[in-house]
Structure 1
Amino acid sequence: MKELKLIDRFNRNLNYLRVSITDRCNLRCMYCSPPRSHIPRLSHADILSYEEILHIINIGVELGINKVRITGGEPLARKGIYHFLEQLNKIKGISDISLTTNGVLLKDNIEKIKNAGIKRLNISLDTLNQERFKLITGFDYFKQVWEGIQKAYELGFHPIKINTVAMKGVNDDELADIGKISLSYPFHMRFIEYMPIGDTHLDKERQIMAYEIMELLSGIGELVPVYHDQNDGPAERYKFANARGEIGIIRPLSHHFCSTCNRLRLTASGHLRPCLLSDRQEDIKTPLRNRASDRELVDVFLKAVNFKPMQHHLDQVDSETVKDSMSSIGG
């Protein structure tokens, strides 16, 4: 398998695997989850076991995967995650392992995360207002999340990336305040254009494009571009003068970064998904459970990579929407 690589039809080398270990979440964010009465849930038997996930990741590493991000749902909500993270860190060939979390369970488990070998965190935070946090997420957990971020900082996690989905009429009036956190902390404050995915109750009128986000942040000071390394991902990086941290702008709608996308996703249900913004995916769980050989599982990887599209079409008026919810795909 050494000679095989995950190179798609457009000559993009896919070396980054995002792994959703659960579709369950302890929040109900308005841009992620459908209304409460319509939230589908995978049964325990339908979700990949940790052993199955590690098996699939090992095959991916043989094919050139060297960067892995663990996501959910909320990954910290799944039992046994800390031992799983330890096992993941033992896989030779992975140079970058990170964890995405909503931060609710972070404070009480941050030392376990560190002991498991995780150094990089992505944490969702869409507001600095406690009441608004409850409005956006459905729960009054702002204090727990902020204390978890502080604890991660104290324990030396770096970089700590804070992800904020920009929403008109919801949190646009405090994007500048969120950006100012980069002045005092070495955090990467990242602002993301809202993407309409799944059966959420947030409509397209809530979208704020990158140029609008930049205008709101310009009141703080001049945003100076930061050198963009090829391993940085899609964020456009900036920095305020004398700031300890950075500003990142992620613009999946107003400026496609599809041409440089190096990602493949493994869903909790056991599907390889080559594009977040397309429902097309390839089942790897069924052949795995049917005792397929590793070479046969390699073929599933290669088949998934082969139908990775050149770009998404969410910005087109007559485009087909993504039906699966973000919580089931993995962020």
Structure 2
Amino acid sequence: MANQFEDSFHRKFYYLRLSVTDVCNFKCTYCLPDGYKPAEKQKPSFLSLEEIKRVTAAFAECGTTKVRITGGEPSLRRDFTDIIHTVASQPGINKVAMTTNGYRMAKHAQEWRDAGLTNINVSVDSLDPKMFYQITGENMFHQVMSGIDAAFDAGFEQVKINTVLLKDLNSQELPKFLNWIKSRPIQLRFIELMQTGEMDELFNRHHVSGVSIRNYLIANGWVLKVRHKNDGPAQVFCHPDYQGEIGLIMPYEKNFCQSCNRLRVSAKGKLHLCLFGEHGVDLRDLLESDGQRSALIDRIQNGLQEKAVSHFLDAGETGMTPHLASIGG
């Protein structure tokens, strides 16, 4: 095995977030309020199955054990099941996750599970169908709920639900969400709204700090769980009276980046060292053949030496990211 990917701050990287498309069919207020618009006039060329195989193999060789397939909406790819199988077939990869808006889950959850998907995250920003429509721009609440049921039926032991907290929209729904997970093995992850280049006004209007929810949880008997080395950034809490769990993702908290263990590759083949930050390191020219793997690994490792100690969001710097769909959230 090649050397473990490591940056100049001795952070090791076990977790790859691999975007396979930046296209999405939802119009979430905090991400793509006007819907998806291609960055170029010509048809975008997203990573092919062979390129996905090569980049995943390089990361696996350097200690990555978990790959999350993201978008946009990754299941919009016609070859999505093949992508899962390709990633899951790489030696060393023992966790293959996806993040989805859930609109195709009811039909395909079993097929994805059979292809090697081990973990599933679904974005559900409200348990009220009207508010769900207001936030996502799509009237698909019941379809998404059916998809979650289908995921459990397919054998997923836990489903993670991502909810972006929005003041004056869904921030009053905490009791409803807690009731929902009392008897279901759902990890409900509240994500603080993050400021990106195009979202200043929305951020100022709707940002809610996750600290207030953490204080509420601790006061009501929830206990922080131990974090594993390929886990995501959530602080996860459990409670003896609840089958479900609560995860808090609070990027504005001091030292949020201290335990960073993940890297991102965009749907066009760029390595992004941070969700917020830089132009990215182009890898695509080294994904043309299997014989380029050493050069690919070297380029990723060299790029890692440029990874900053933090994203500096707390200082109001939002970096180059125009919206979260552009490099897979």
Question: TM class, shorter-chain normalised?
Answer: over 0.9
Match of 2:49 in 1: 50
Match of 1:242 in 2: 241
| CA drift at 1:235 | 1.3
More divergent stretch after superposition (304-313 vs 232-241): 232-241
Residues in 2 aligned to 1:257 and 1:181: alpha-carbon distance in whole angstroms: 28
Partner letter of residue 245 of structure 1? Answer: G
| CA drift at 1:271 | 0.1
| CA drift at 1:39 | 5.6
Residues in 2 aligned to 1:285 and 1:73: alpha-carbon distance in whole angstroms: 19
Match of 1:66 in 2: 65
Instruction: Please list the CA deviations of residues 193-221 of structure 1 after superposition, one character each: whole Å capped at 9, or x if unmatched.
Output: 110124246222311111222356579x4
Match of 2:119 in 1: 120
Partner SS, residue 182 of structure 2: helix
Residues in 1 aligned to 2:95 and 2:319: alpha-carbon distance in whole angstroms: 32
Residues 89 and 296 of structure 1: CA distance in aligned 2, closer, same or farther (over 3 Å): same
Residues in 2 aligned to 1:49 and 1:304: alpha-carbon distance in whole angstroms: 23
Residues 41 and 129 of structure 1: CA distance in aligned 2, closer, same or farther (over 3 Å): farther
| CA drift at 1:290 | 8.9
Residues in 1 aligned to 2:121 and 2:277: alpha-carbon distance in whole angstroms: 23
Residues in 2 aligned to 1:154 and 1:70: alpha-carbon distance in whole angstroms: 21
In 1, are the aligned partners of 2:23 and 2:73 still within 8 Å (CA)? yes
Match of 2:98 in 1: 99
- Provide the TM-score with structure 2 as the length reference: 0.92
| CA drift at 1:100 | 1.0
Residues in 1 aligned to 2:218 and 2:12: alpha-carbon distance in whole angstroms: 36
Residues in 1 aligned to 2:33 and 2:282: alpha-carbon distance in whole angstroms: 24
Residues 45 and 192 of structure 1: CA distance in aligned 2, closer, same or farther (over 3 Å): closer
Residues 294 and 43 of structure 1: CA distance in aligned 2, closer, same or farther (over 3 Å): farther
| CA drift at 1:41 | 5.9
| CA drift at 1:117 | 1.6
Match of 1:325 in 2: 323
Residues 137 and 297 of structure 1: CA distance in aligned 2, closer, same or farther (over 3 Å): same
| CA drift at 1:178 | 1.3
| CA drift at 1:45 | 5.1
Match of 1:82 in 2: 81
Partner letter of residue 62 of structure 1? Answer: E
Instruction: Please list the CA deviations of residues 224-273 of structure 1 after superposition, one character each: whole Å capped at 9, or x if unmatched.
Output: 23333333322112123321111111111134421110111010011000
Q: How many corresponding residue pairs?
A: 328
In 1, are the aligned partners of 2:19 and 2:70 still within 8 Å (CA)? yes
Alignment RMSD: 2.2
Structure 2: stretches of 5+ with no match in the other structure: none
Residues in 1 aligned to 2:226 and 2:44: alpha-carbon distance in whole angstroms: 45
Instruction: Please list the CA deviations of residues 62-108 of structure 1 after superposition, one character each: whole Å capped at 9, or x if unmatched.
Output: 12211111111101111111122112221111121111111011101
Partner letter of residue 204 of structure 1? Answer: N
Residues 320 and 109 of structure 1: CA distance in aligned 2, closer, same or farther (over 3 Å): closer
Match of 1:233 in 2: 232
In 1, are the aligned partners of 2:14 and 2:229 still within 8 Å (CA)? no
More divergent stretch after superposition (113-122 vs 281-290): 281-290
More divergent stretch after superposition (153-162 vs 47-56): 153-162
In 1, are the aligned partners of 2:125 and 2:162 still within 8 Å (CA)? yes
Residues in 2 aligned to 1:63 and 1:197: alpha-carbon distance in whole angstroms: 31
Residues in 2 aligned to 1:91 and 1:58: alpha-carbon distance in whole angstroms: 6
- Provide the TM-score with structure 1 as the length reference: 0.92
Residues 215 and 298 of structure 1: CA distance in aligned 2, closer, same or farther (over 3 Å): closer
More divergent stretch after superposition (262-271 vs 231-240): 231-240
Partner SS, residue 54 of structure 2: helix
Residues 288 and 224 of structure 1: CA distance in aligned 2, closer, same or farther (over 3 Å): closer
Residues in 1 aligned to 2:125 and 2:176: alpha-carbon distance in whole angstroms: 11
Residues in 1 aligned to 2:188 and 2:235: alpha-carbon distance in whole angstroms: 11
In 2, are the aligned partners of 1:162 and 1:188 still within 8 Å (CA)? yes
Instruction: Please list the CA deviations of residues 276-311 of structure 1 after superposition, one character each: whole Å capped at 9, or x if unmatched.
Output: 111331001134349972222122211221111111
